[in-house]
Amino acid sequence: ATESEMGDVDLTGLPEAPVDSEDEEEEEDEDIDRTSDPLLGRDVVRECLEKEPADKTDDDIEQLLEFMHQLPAFANMTMSVRRELCSVMIFEVVEQAGAIILEDGQELDSWYVILNGTVEISYPDGKSESLCMGNSFGITPSLDKQYMNGVVRTKVDDCQFVCIAQQDYWRILNHVEKNTHKVEEEGEIVMVKEHRELDRSGTRKGHIVIKATPERLIMHLIEEHSIVDPTYIEDFLLTYRTFLSSPLEVGSKLLEWFTVDSLRDKVTRVVLLWVNNHFNDFEGDPAMTRFLEEFEKNLEDTKMKGHLRLLNIACAAKAKWRQITLQKPSRDSPLFFSLLGGSDKGFGIFVETVEIGSKAAEAGLKRGDQV
């Protein structure tokens, strides 16, 4: 066929790093040059490919993973599947154009992925198909006998392939199917989880989400996360922009879930991580700023003083100086914002409220700004 808990929130900032010496900087520059050179990068990959499967180290497999994930043949596979395939793949090179790789009716024993060059499949009905880098051909993941339909020949010199033996290909993909759990709602699959073991002792095992609908991914923020997927929230907050049109889709659900006592701590943890790691999502978005203000009020109303303090610390840590100029038509004109604090209160002066749609709001003045 062709193709954690509140204590986990780090609000102390980044750790200090030692200053590198000039020699170390030069070595790092050389490493960067080597990895950024595509030709040298391909040489490293080829060295890894030319090793026998039993001789491949973990570093070799990581190099192969980095290269293979770019190819269409591996695009819809999970990381664990790609890793296992990389550990058993064999490298083959056909030097000359016009060489026949597979004859029509020949029994198939491998799955092939093209790494370099182009091949042509000529079918018995006279039609033909060209496959290039990243395309695949050969067996399907089954142990049944399979035969080639058509003739496969190289179209250019130096065609390079990786081959996976039928037994390995079937075992790896079949194993994944057995370890996959599909969550269905109203007859439709809304989430797919994969069972993983992180060590040979079997003590660190559980399910990790590999795909889901946007709505189900949001809901998983307040569900229990397995020991093999402890950073789901951080990963979601880093990537949600690729599949959601607005952060308010997440914010509105979090405010809704906050009203449920059993979910309140989980919602608060999500918001604290969000503010601490991606404050820019709130800073330049009036709607998200209002979300944060509403969430702060909810913390006050429910007397969650410790969590409220953490939220204030996170926001204060992200604060930065800026200058805003507001002009009043006359001395008696309203300010459209109110202040809180001063020497009689024993703390600085802060903006308490800003009228929505006012000149002050348009100028960028925000609740919580220190004057």
At 300 the pLDDT is 94
Supply the pLDDT for residue 5: 39
Residue 141 in contact with residue 169, Cβ under 8 Å? Answer: yes
Q: Amino acid letter at 323?
A: Q
| Beta-ladder partners of 39 | none
- In angstroms, rounded to a whole number, what is the distance separating the alpha carbons of residues 207 and 194? 5
For the chain, the first-to-last Cα distance in angstroms comes to 68
Show the CA angle centred on residue 14, arms to residues 9 and 19, nearest 5°: 155
Tell me the residue ranges of DSSP E strands in the chain: 90-94, 100-102, 110-116, 119-122, 128-131, 136-138, 151-154, 159-165, 180-185, 188-197, 205-212, 337-342, 347-354
Judged against a pLDDT cut of 80, whether residue 229 lies above it is answered with: yes
Of 100, 97, 107, 77, nearest in space to 89 by CA: 77
> DSSP string spanning 56-101?
--HHHHHHHHHHHTTSGGGTTS-HHHHHHHHHH-EEEEE-STT-EE
Mean pLDDT of the chain: 84
* The pLDDT value given to residue 32: 41
Give the residue-averaged pLDDT of 109-127. Answer: 96
Please give the domain boundaries of the chain with CATH numbers for all domains. Answer: 93-166 (2.60.120.10), 213-318 (1.20.870.10), 337-370 (no CATH)
- Residues 259-275 have pLDDT tens digits of 999 999 999 999 999 99
What does DSSP say about strands 119-122 and 128-131: parallel, antiparallel, or unpaired? antiparallel
What percent of the chain lies above the pLDDT cut of 90?
Answer: 54
pTM of the model: 0.58
Residue 16: the pLDDT is: 42
Least confident residue range of 9-23, 183-197, 311-325: 9-23
Distance CA 328, CA 13 (A): 39
Q: Is the pLDDT of residue 343 over 90?
A: no
The radius of gyration of the chain from alpha carbons, rounded to an integer in Å, stands at 29
Torsion (CA) 193, 199, 202, 208 in degrees, nearest 10: -10
Residues 6+ apart with CB under 8 A from 307: 6, 268, 272, 299
Q: Which residues partner with 211 through β-bridges?
A: 192
- Asked if 100 and 148 touch (Cβ cutoff 8 Å), the reply is no
- Position 12 scores a pLDDT of 40
Q: Which tens digit of pLDDT belongs to each residue from 188-227?
A: 989 988 887 766 555 677 888 888 999 999 999 999 887 8
Read off the pLDDT band of 42 (50, 70, 90): confident
Which residues is 195 bridged to in the sheet? 207
